Structure 1
Amino acid sequence: MLELTNTEQVIMKCIWEIGDNVAVADLLERLKTEYGKEYARTTISVFMSYLRDKGYVTYEKRSHAYVYKPLISEQDYQKELMKRYQKTSFSGSAVEFIRAYLDSQELTAEDLKAIRELVEKKQQEVK
């Protein structure tokens, strides 16, 4: 999977939020209202061609416009991103990756409880 730029990540986030059959007009509106970013229609069209070339979206022509559909879910993207980051930044060590995350965050008791539950669930899967 090819890496996304920051702008491509925001555009993909919009696509995942909207769902299938996303038109450029939909993206322009969401980028403006949710992210405070204003782009020209042609700029978004160029980014969509990059995302298509990288294998993140497919498209079809409907009437006078293209509509786009994600080829990868947000969850699958996040998993791949974390795997890549763990491999490149922490020499593949899950322990060091998690340690760095925990050290970098201000976690509440509720956060820690939820994390503990996730670890316990994962332990059950491994057994």
Structure 2
Amino acid sequence: MPGKDHLITPSELIVMKVIWKEQPCTASNIVEYISKQSDWHFRTIKTLLRNLVAKQAVGFHVDVHDSRVYHYYALIQEEDYLKQEREQFLKLYYDGSMSTLLTGFVKDSSMTPEEVQQLRSLLNRRMGEQGEGGNTK
């Protein structure tokens, strides 16, 4: 996992999302995918790839048939990264208080009835887990 001095920037995250979805993939695959959604120059995307390799978030191997082609893959799992980001967000903005965060989201958002039901089910399931075996995290 990248350290605090190696945080993934929002632009790098766009590249990571492509890699998580398509890995292993070549730089040209990544450029093609991102170009459909933005007007970034291919050099920008290649710079972001180099940064991610330097941060040890992405690895690569050289194609056996063409040494100019690199195949990129994630060195960190998407869910691990997202969990780390959620924890940092919670600490930074809500002093670690999950109830304050959730209360704010529920009050401020326009949740659909389906989303409300999903949240209710998740909380009920969590309460059942804690009731059966004590305090479960």
Instruction: Say whether the 8 Å CA contact 1:58–1:70 is kept in structure 2.
Output: yes
- SS in structure 2 at match of 1:122: helix
Preserved contact between residue 55 and residue 71 of structure 1 (Cα < 8 Å):
yes
Larger radius of gyration: 2
Is residue 28–residue 38 contact of structure 1 (8 Å, CA) maintained in 2? no
1:59 aligns to what SS in structure 2?
strand
From 11, 14, 23, the counterpart of 1:10: 14
Q: Residue 26 of structure 1 aligns to which amino acid in structure 2?
A: N
For structure 1, the 5+ residue unaligned runs are none
Unpaired runs of 5+ residues, structure 2, are none
Aligned residues: 124
The residue identity in structure 1 corresponding to 2:78 is E
Aligned to 1:101: 105
Identity in percent: 23
1:24 aligns with 2:50: no
Partner of 1:76: 80
Task: After TM superposition, give the deviation of residue 123 of structure 1 in Å.
Answer: 2.3
Residue 40 of structure 2 is matched in structure 1 by: 39
Match in the other structure for 2:54:
53
Query: CA–CA distance in 2 between the matches of 1:87 and 1:25?
Result: 38
SS at match of 2:44: helix
| Structure 1: 4+ residue segments shifted above 6 A | none
TM-score by length of 2: 0.81
CA contact (8 A) 1:59 1:67 kept: yes
Measured on the aligned residues, the alpha-carbon RMSD in Å equals: 1.6
Secondary structure in structure 2 of the residue aligned to 1:60: strand
